[in-house]
Structure 1
Amino acid sequence: MTQTILGTGIQEGLLLKPVRYPWAYELYNQAVANTWFPHEVQLGEDLADFKKMSDEERHALTFLMSYFNPNELLVNKALAFGVYPYVGAAEAHLYLAKQMWEEANHVMAFEYVLETFPIDRRQAYEAHVNVPSMVAKEKFEVHYIRRMTEQTLDIGTTEGKRDFVRNLVAYNIVLEGIWFYSGFMVALSFRQRNLLRNFASLVDWVVRDESLHLKFGINLILTVLDENPDLRTEEFAAEIKQMIVDGVTMEEQYNRDLLPRGVLGMNADYINQYVRYLADRRLEELGFAPHYNVTNPAKWMATANDTLQLVNFFESTNTSYEVDARAR
């Protein structure tokens, strides 16, 4: 019987060598090399910048913290309940274990921000349950993880494998690949105006981790599609594309709440063009044509948006998933 990356047997994935999926093994090694700790950054040096920021700028930073922190924890639930139990390759398990540690490290990084800056912690935490645009995004993600936590998927069936892919798209593509990157751009925009430079360094490290999470997730989706021809239908592809488009709509409303009046050099329209640009890149990475056809308004973020080798969602068999860790 041909082995595939999906598997739930407890005795599967107990031998690392020979490695069946080199891209997963290389991403694990790169993730280990990227290991960092939040307090290596001297955030206290940014306090003077925080005090001279406008109310709109401080609102944006608080809004970002209120979203990032709980959603990093939500990603860990998606990995623990919706991905790890259904993957049989040891090298994939190694990477997922490191990714879960990284998500926990990101939580501690954002806690460090909340501890350092005079941010109203209660206001920050309550926003993700009181602000409708933030609630809508969380409801979208919880919808996909709930079926993984409340029932066991039968990944021997087509529908079970579809649920597995849906969860990956919801978390790796929409949440980590679009929504998080949108927030990263806003966070890093302060440095473009010579503000919060150490905070930006912390975000740089988070982005470096998330770029690997995105590469792993896309490689995993494409591998599952290649190994399971029953998933490659026009109807399922249309559903996946619609999930991404719906994610863009939700993010656009969120960004209008994030910057209701805008700040120097940036407003919600600017961020939302970047969101649409990101969505097109993610669609292309899954083998779709671009949907929005917009240019990148934040050229300075280009290095964070490397695209992977493209494959067609339906027809092509991808044999070149490997990511050369030494070249990154």
Structure 2
Amino acid sequence: MELLKKRQIMNNTAPNRSTAIVNGECSNILNWDDVRFSWAYPKYKKMLANFWTPFEINMSQDMKQFPQLTEDEQDAFLKIIGLLALLDSIQTDYAGKVADYLTDSSLSALMIILAQQEVIHNHSYSYVLSSLVPKQKQDEVFEFWRTEPILVKRNEFVTNGYRDFAENPTPGNLLKSIVYDVVLEGLFFYSGFAFFYHLARNQKMVSSSTMINYINRDEQIHVDLFIKIFKEILNENPALNTNELSEFVKATFKKAAELEIEWARFVIGNKIEGILLSDVEAYIKFYANVRANQLGFERPFEGYRTNPLRWIVAYEEVDFGKSDFFEQKSRQYTKVNQVDNGFDEL
């Protein structure tokens, strides 16, 4: 299969509007009033409107509450933060690699914004941990991806798919890597998010959960962006829409759900009061079905058409703009000095 062509820094013989999403021609001059895809500019505005930084979240109340969590809650909290830190770290690099091969300069710009948001996400985990635990424990959490066998297995599942594209950038490998991206951003995050939202609905660690909601909101946009790119590639290259790709998508989401369920059994299990492991497992299968269907393929699991964690909808779909997620107050109200991080309020 032919390799993808990298977008030139400047091509003075090509039009500003790209001729194709991949392997086309484009001057690489970005004019938002002259782009190939009508959805690109609205997506750009939406991503800009979501801009936030970890410094806007006052962690002082969480700092008081964290020692009061049960040992199992603390353990799950830290292990899930460690997981999210690894996933968002590799996303930054992956977005840059995809951007290199998107002929359209507007889509490349969206990838750059996406990568910047992933950097903010990763910083937010450091920010939360630095507020709650000593530096030694923070370092330990950021090493979980090396030391937890279940994490190693599930993370290699995604990174190997990314590596295939990075080392052999064909159109087919790009499509498969996007499937892995949707697994990562649209499935692997979600049982972790559910844990934080469960704490929040019990008035625990609300600031951390507010941060998670901002991340969740970004990730929903990222998933939608990659799904649009995936479909545009298939639309312009229908020969790539094969039975083999269909089977790959179904098998990939099925395996991803199995790995995520294994992780949920390990980190949440039946140890967290008020959240049933059976509901979390059904929730994971539900989202595997949602994501495969969004990509345009058969759902991997029979049934699982409704969200078993109905209470979580209020947390996943909330969009208060610049207001506080839970208290619906101006975020300016809770901003703290970047140096003290609320420590003077203890």
Does TM, scored on the shorter chain, surpass 0.5? yes
Residue pairs, 1:2-151, within 5 angstroms? 3-7=19-23, 11-12=27-28, 14-81=30-97, 83-118=98-133, 120-151=137-168
Higher alpha-carbon deviation: 217-226 or 266-275: 266-275
Q: 1:8 to 1:65 in 2, by over 3 A?
A: farther
Match of 1:297 in 2: 308
Of the three residues 211, 220, 241, the one matched with 2:220 is 211
Question: Could you tell me how far 1:303 is from its partner in structure 2?
Answer: 5.5
Does residue 274 (structure 1) correspond to residue 283 (structure 2)? The answer is yes
Aligned length: 298
Which of structures 1 and 2 has the bigger CA Rg?
2
Q: Deviations over 1:8-47 (max 9, x none)?
A: 7674464443121121221111110110110101012212
Q: How does 1:165-176 map to 2 (within 5 A)?
A: 165-171=175-181, 173-176=182-185
Correspondence 1:251 to 2:260 = yes
Note the aligned Cα RMSD (angstroms). 2.1
Contact 1:252–1:272 (8 Å) recurs in 2: yes
CA distance in 2 between counterparts of 1:9 and 1:277 reads: 40
Which residue pairs with 2:297 in the alignment?
Answer: 288
How far off is 1:133 after superposition? 1.4
The answer on whether the counterparts of 1:207 and 1:304 sit within 8 Å (CA) in structure 2 is: no
Query: Deviations along 1:72-111, whole A, 9 cap, x unmatched?
Result: 1101111112x10111112212211111110000011111
Instruction: Give the whole-Å Cα distance in 1 for the aligned partners of 2:37 and 2:26.
Output: 19
Residue 142 of structure 2 aligns to a residue whose secondary structure is helix
Question: What code does the residue aligned with 2:153 have?
Answer: A
Deviates more, 1:274-283 or 1:123-132: 123-132
Deviations 1:123-172 (A, max 9, x none): 31232112121101111122122233334x2xxxxxx111001111101x
| Partners of 1:251 and 1:178 in 2: CA distance | 8
Provide the C-alpha distance between the structure 1 equivalents of 2:19 and 2:268, rounded to a whole number of angstroms: 49
Inter-partner Cα distance in structure 1 for 2:313 and 2:247? 28
2:340 equivalent in structure 1:
none
Does the 8 Å CA contact 2:145/2:152 hold for their aligned counterparts? yes
Distance 1:128 1:211 in 2: 24
Counterpart AA for 2:76 = A
Superposed CA offset, 1:171-218 (max 9, x none): 1x1000001122111111101111111111111111111111011011
Structure 1: how far apart are the matches of 2:51 and 2:235?
Answer: 32
Deviation, 1:261, is 3.8
SS state at 1:22 partner: coil
C-alpha deviation, 1:289, in angstroms: 3.6
How far, CA to CA, are the matches of 1:305 and 1:42 in structure 2? 21
Q: CA deviation at 1:255?
A: 0.9
Identify the residue that residue 343 of structure 2 maps to in structure 1: none
Letter in 1 for 2:204: L
Where in structure 1 do 4 or more consecutive aligned residues deviate above 6 Å? none
Comparing 120-129 and 279-288, the one that deviates more? 120-129
Distance 2:245 2:274 in 1: 40
Cα distance in 1 for partners of 2:165, 2:234 equals 19
Percent of aligned pairs with the same amino acid: 22
Matching of residues 178-193 of structure 1 within 5 Å: 178-193=187-202
Separation in structure 1 between the aligned mates of residue 73 and residue 246 of structure 2, nearest angstrom: 39
Counterpart for residue 319 of structure 1: none
Residue 274 of structure 2 aligns to a residue in which SS? coil
The residue identity in structure 2 corresponding to 1:32 is L
Partner AA of 1:42 in structure 2: N
Q: Summarize the Cα distance change of 1:203–1:93 in structure 2 as closer, same or farther, 3 Å threshold.
A: same
TM-score scaled to structure 2, two decimals? Answer: 0.81
Structure 2 CA distance, aligned partners of 1:227 and 1:8?
11
Q: 1:69 to 1:200 in 2, by over 3 A?
A: same
Deviations 1:289-311 (A, max 9, x none): 433222312112236767xxxxx
TM-score normalised over the length of structure 1: 0.85
